[in-house]
Amino acid sequence: MLTTANPTMSLSENHDSEDAIDVALMMRVKHGDHQAFEQLVERYQDVAVGTVAKMLGNPSNAQDIAQQAFVRLWKAAPRYKQKAKFSTFFFTIIRNLVFNESKKFARRKTYSLEQREEVLFEQVSDDATRSPDAEAQQAELNKVVDQAIANLPDKQRMALVLRRYENMPYEEIAAVLKTSVSAVKSHLFRARATLKEDLSHYLDA
């Protein structure tokens, strides 16, 4: 019977334990076990939807794309081999779907000056004075920051999302993007520099 990780474990041991559970489930899925597949969906559904939404800057179709990722996971199961962490395998599927989705709109995606300026807002700091409608304002600012991230080039965007929101190690991000650790760090540096430059006017205001 599968068990959850011991909360007293170190972060590294915890991750290894969770990966062992994922791999065990995936090996069962490989042999057609529907119950094991349902367990994997339960474990990764929220993170899949969240990652897609952050990548595209639009949560409206994140559920559909995440669903496609699970369908591809099921279809790929017979060929699955434990060459890396399960999360690396699954996020690679998500990467391909998101990049394909981005290409569909790349030629049509244009922004008016007003839209471009909206993208350049930054989240208010934790110690900022809150207005009575702070919740609504924060939600709107979060939306704008998500859109700013979505405007980054594909690999920069994926590296930033996996590092910032999923706290994924550089090595695993490199595996997902099929590149080197140094290239991942370069993507992150450029992504952060772009966001800082684009948002500087509002940060200094």
pLDDT tens by residue, 94-117: 999 998 887 765 544 444 333 443
Residue partners of 194: CB distance under 8 A and separation at least 6 = 152, 156
pLDDT at 138: 66
Give the residue-averaged pLDDT of 113-122.
40
Say if residues 56 and 158 touch (Cβ distance below 8 Å): no
Give how far Cα 180 sits from Cα of 19, 95, 111, 113, Å: 22, 16, 33, 37
What's the CATH architecture for 10-109?
Orthogonal Bundle (1.10)
Which of the two residues, 30 and 83, has the higher pLDDT score?
30
pLDDT at 131: 55
Could you tell me the pLDDT band of residue 3, with boundaries at 50, 70 and 90?
Answer: very low
Give the residue-averaged pLDDT of 72-96.
92
Could you tell me the pLDDT band of residue 202, with boundaries at 50, 70 and 90?
Answer: low
pLDDT at 125: 42
Give how far Cα 193 sits from Cα of 156, 186, 187, 189, Å: 11, 10, 10, 6
Check residue 125 and give left, alpha or beta (phi > 0: left; psi -120 to 50: alpha): beta
Taking the domains of the chain in order of start, what are their residue ranges?
Answer: 10-109, 110-205
Give the residue-averaged pLDDT of 9-22.
71
Q: Is the pLDDT of residue 31 over 90?
A: yes
Quote the pTM value.
0.69
Phi, psi of 108 (to 5 degrees): -95, -10
What's the CATH architecture for 110-205?
Orthogonal Bundle (1.10)
Integer-rounded Cα radius of gyration of the chain:
19
Instruction: Name the percent of the chain lying above pLDDT 90.
Output: 47
Could you tell me the pLDDT band of residue 2, with boundaries at 50, 70 and 90?
Answer: very low
Q: Give the CA angle between residues 53, 150, 148 to the nearest 5°.
A: 120
